[in-house]
Structure 1
């Protein structure tokens, strides 16, 4: 920790007693998990809330956590299930479910060390995936009459197959930029027990309508995804949500 960490986060917690408070970090070794570190440090206040569904996990990362005793006693302790339990994600979701806020002190107050034997590597991708899908369904999809999955490829189809049957029926289309996928016209859910098997249209993103669940990784397309979203003049957290 940097010397001013406790003072600055304590000052923030006095003003925001129902919020989980984080800070910016310096990664060690320098340059490790470059995309993840950039994400941690550059999220806007609104994105701390709107991007809680991404595969990066908590938008306020656990090593930076600071909160009032009042909030901690309200939410309860970590899940002590042991190896393979994503205790930070579970507690993070509990805080949000109970109406807690999210805040970041915009100063670098912590050196966040990366090493290959970190406990986080013991949590399986499928465990995280199921928790994230359930949280997305609970917080976003349950409020939607219908929605579009942005990505007709592997990740978009995986999300569709992971949804409850009720939410699968709300998927009005997939959208994409890949002409080969668009020309196919439909995605057929072959594993479905329904007859006839569900067929979901595949559209160009300009022909699709929101709200969108984005299943394309952030910061991986050289800005193309972000430009496409901006061109549609959509508002994050209302018209679209990042899932990957």
Structure 2
């Protein structure tokens, strides 16, 4: 029997969450054929025992289970584990899941239907959080992005516009990128893969149902990634895909984030910056920003203007949803089009 969907599950010392995770796979109401592909990445807790016990339950229900793992030289990292689970799987579509998260009963069915309609896309979904009050701003942002913003807000500090544990795609979509980065702990393999997918012309789609409970806890892999690593990836992707097409642009924010953004640019893109814009009277009155660390002589001086006088296109280095709506109102007053006249970077 051919397998429609492979659930890709990397596991490392997940004993406290694994029962709930595996139960959610067992409870799927999908009527097609699916398998569970598990790579146990050097777990030293009871994860191996739980996997073995659940495999027996899956087999009794007619669900194929493929399990492999490594006990040598410690864990290899989530990117390596996902790649191994994918290589040993056989489904036409891949459903990604982390061992500390929980799927709704309808997840595979809903995302499989969406993937059939969008063969070239990474399919995500809305999600809820555990605990329910964790990372409220991030959750609100990710769940409320429009179809267009899934493609335009990929440079923000939040990371991929559809979160990794909700990803679902055809095997062809995965194979086009090739694999997840296997550098290991501290590497944002999901963001790297996401950007490569976009570079290959891939689409991003979200099923607007909460198909995953996304767990927040102190041991999340996210906390092992330094923010400077994320910053550098975002800067590089923005320069390669957007700034190379622009002859000039304005940076919205003459504060710390805007200045950091400017200093992070390649010199040829720094020269394209015609102005900073802001609402802070003190910054505007100052007149300009001088790049003191520049090796150029004379040192570059960039004008600072009121946002209402900003000339598009703009890169916005202001964080969203933190000013009681005033920033959003100011932006809306300019009548600009996101993805053409401006991109969010904050």
Could you report, residue by residue, the CA deviation over 1:64-90 in whole angstroms, capped at 9, with x for unpaired residues? Answer: 000001111111111111011100000
Verify: 1:187 aligned to 2:295, yes or no: no
Q: Give the equivalent residue in structure 2 for 1:26.
A: 128
SS of corresponding position for 2:169: coil
Q: Give the equivalent residue in structure 2 for 1:119.
A: 221
Return the index of the structure with the highest Cα Rg.
Answer: 2
Q: Give the equivalent residue in structure 1 for 2:172.
A: 70
Q: In structure 1, which of residues 196, 209, 217 is the aligned counterpart of residue 319 of structure 2?
A: 217
Equivalences for residues 168-179 of structure 1 within 5 A: 168-179=270-281
Q: Give the equivalent residue in structure 1 for 2:341.
A: 239
Shift of 1:40: 1.1
Could you report, residue by residue, the CA deviation over 1:4-44 in whole angstroms, capped at 9, with x for unpaired residues? Answer: 10001001111111100000001110110000000110000
Q: In structure 1, which of residues 130, 154, 170 is the aligned counterpart of residue 232 of structure 2?
A: 130
Q: In structure 2, which of residues 113, 132, 142 is the aligned counterpart of residue 40 of structure 1?
A: 142
Aligned length: 244
SS of corresponding position for 2:299: coil
Any gaps of 5 or more consecutive residues in structure 2?
1-102
Any gaps of 5 or more consecutive residues in structure 1?
none
Structure 2 distance, partners of 1:183, 1:135, is 33
Q: Which structure 1 residue ranges, 4+ long, deviate > 4 Å from structure 2?
A: none
TM-score (norm 1): 0.99
Q: In structure 2, which of residues 206, 219, 232 is the aligned counterpart of residue 104 of structure 1?
A: 206
Could you report, residue by residue, the CA deviation over 1:109-128 in whole angstroms, capped at 9, with x for unpaired residues? Answer: 11001001111101111111
SS of corresponding position for 1:112: strand
Q: In structure 1, which of residues 36, 60, 65 is the aligned counterpart of residue 162 of structure 2?
A: 60
Shift of 1:207: 1.1
SS of corresponding position for 1:67: strand
Structure 2 distance, partners of 1:107, 1:90, is 26
Structure 1 distance, partners of 2:123, 2:324, is 31
SS of corresponding position for 2:257: helix
Root-mean-square deviation (Å): 0.6
Q: Give the equivalent residue in structure 1 for 2:193.
A: 91
Deviating more after overlay: 69-78 vs 198-207? 69-78
